[in-house]
Structure 1
Amino acid sequence: MNIKTLCAIALTSVSAAAFAVDLPEFNLADANGDGFVSQEEAKNIEGLTEMFEAADVNKDGQLDELEYTEASIK
């Protein structure tokens, strides 16, 4: 293994740990009740804005309940 590979592995481990956040229940995060957490709604939840892009697995610009739940347990 070379140094670049080791650095990539180390950064991935740190990044995953940095995303771990204690998020409120989905229905509280979904302020307008449309079944999704938008980027605007994410601004009201500490730590969610920083991890939003990674949590948005299907890249539709919003988090459904499954994406939100997965983000909260990582």
Structure 2
Amino acid sequence: MNIKTLCAIALTTVSATTFAGEMPDFQTVDINADGAISLEEAKSVEGLEAAFVTADIDKDGQLNEAEYEEVSRG
């Protein structure tokens, strides 16, 4: 693992712990059912917008189900 990946994981963990209580399931947040959560969709979950950048591990501008599940676990 490189330093950027480790930093991203650390920041995601810190950010996630601030809101990972009752997170809705991925399909609920993925409003348009395209298999990814956009920043706009993330705004529907309290705290997810703030953690979005660090939760987006592959930096593609959206959260896939694995990234969402990781941040949901806190």
Q: Same fold judged by TM-score > 0.5? A: yes
- Name the TM-score, length of structure 1 as normaliser: 0.74
Partner of 1:48: 48
Query: CA offset at residue 66 of structure 1?
Result: 0.2
RMSD: 1.8
The count of aligned residue pairs is 61
Runs of 4+ in 1 over 6 A off after TM superposition: none
Equivalent-residue separation in structure 1 for 2:72 and 2:28 (angstroms): 14
Q: Which has the higher strand share?
A: 1
Query: CA offset at residue 44 of structure 1?
Result: 1.0
Larger-gyration structure (1/2): 1
- Name the TM-score, length of structure 2 as normaliser: 0.74
Partner of 1:62: 62
> Are the aligned partners of 2:16 and 2:73 in contact in 1 as well (CA < 8 Å)?
no
The structure with higher relative contact order (CA 8 Å, sep 6+) is 2
Query: Unpaired runs of 5+ in structure 2?
Result: 1-9
Equivalent-residue separation in structure 1 for 2:67 and 2:44 (angstroms): 17
Percent of aligned positions that are identical: 44
Partner of 1:38: 38
